[in-house]
Amino acid sequence: MTTAAIKSRARKSRVSRFFKTFTVRFAFYFLLCALSFIFLYPFITMIVKSLMTDDDLVNITVKWLPSELTWSNYEIAFRRMGFSRYVWNNVLVCAVGTVGHMFSCALTGYAFARYNFKLKNVLFVVVILMMIVPVQVIIFPLYKQYSDWRWLNTYLPLLVPTFFGFGLNGGFFIFLYRQFFMGLPYEMEEAARVDGCGPVRTYARIMLPMAQAPMLVCGVLSLVWHWNDYFEPSIYITTNPNMRMLPSVLPSLYALLNQENHTMIQVNELEGIIFNEAMLMAATFLCIIPILIAYLFLQRRFMEGVERSGLTGM
């Protein structure tokens, strides 16, 4: 075979590999963009509609680009939903509930990972059931229990269980910590025991500081889930409107929107303010802005925590 033939074959091989690689990458990124659009479509629709005018809402030719950016929708939604009052209720519940989950579930997960005790496997099955069985299934006995304890219309049903490894998705956090502590070498605890550290000191001074990755994952997920939780607060808090959470305010705004002609009604006759679908979308976006800002600052460390905590290997 001549040198020219060899060079020609090598050139064809490179071209073939290029087109094959290009085709695979194009198909991969096309599928990725398509799936991303499916998940982002509701979010994009919410933002676009929140900036529309009354005329844009009824104009079928206006879909993605409003004719005019109406920022006043956010101001009206802010005042109408009482954002400045209810946001502090969310902050209180999220802060206390997240702290309770981070430390109680860490202690429970450490016990399951490092100690042998009676009924250990049975109790761990209960933890798994906490992950599998939704709270809607056991809401009636929980409601009866909290009613007997006179905890209704308070934040106690939402906060106290988090300090005992229960609460909103507590079973998942226990499982997360257990997986992390099981991956640590036992030599560290043995060295601490030789140096005179007891079980409590070993856990508090050595093991818990090493669990920063799962603690960050637990903190972010607990914060998001508590902030967005609508079901339990709407069940336990019914007669005290001042203690409502932000997600519990949105249904009342939706009912207001559909009260007359299923389109729009006048909220304040003196000011001539019309509450419409754009303002409802603005109110929805206001509810998720704080959690988006928090995730924006914690995104990098959160992803690192997911990798280090063993969550990806479940």
Provide the residue range defining the domain that includes 105.
76-250+282-313
Please report where in the chains the tokens 């998942």 appear, as a residue.
172
Overall domain count for the chain = 1
Per-residue pLDDT, 149:
93
Coil, strand or helix at 77: helix
SS3 at position 168: coil
Q: What is the CATH number of the domain that holds 81?
A: 1.10.3720.10
With vertex at residue 93, the alpha carbon angle to CA 91 and CA 94, rounded to the nearest 5 degrees, is: 65
- Asked if residue 32 is part of any domain, the answer here is no
Q: Count how many Cα atoms sit within 13 Å of the Cα of residue 67 in the half-sphere of its side chain.
A: 10
Q: What is the pLDDT of residues 230-259, one digit of tens each?
A: 899 999 998 888 888 888 888 878 776 666
Is 108 part of any domain?
yes
Domain annotation covers residue 125: yes
Would 56 be classed as within a structural domain? Answer: no
Q: Please report whether residue 34 resides in a domain.
A: no
- What angle do the packed helices 83-114 and 212-228 form, to 10 degrees? 140
Top pLDDT among 254 and 182 is at 182
β strands within the chain, DSSP E: 265-268, 273-275
**Residues 158/254, Cβ–Cβ less than 8 Å:** no
DSSP H/E element including 63: none
How far apart CA 84 and CA 81 sit, in angstroms, is: 9
**Is residue 265 within 8 Å of residue 256, measured between CB atoms?**
yes
**Residue 60 placed within a domain:** no
Q: How far apart are CA 268 and CA 232, in angstroms?
A: 32
Q: What is the pLDDT of residues 152-164, one digit of tens each?
A: 999 999 999 999 9
- Residue 241: what pLDDT? 84
For residue 71, being part of any structural domain is answered with no
pTM over 0.85: no
Do 53 and 278 form a contact (C-beta atoms < 8 A)?
yes
Confidence of residue 66 (pLDDT cuts 50, 70, 90): confident
Asked if 232 and 146 touch (Cβ cutoff 8 Å), the reply is no
- Residue 33 within any structural domain of the chain: no
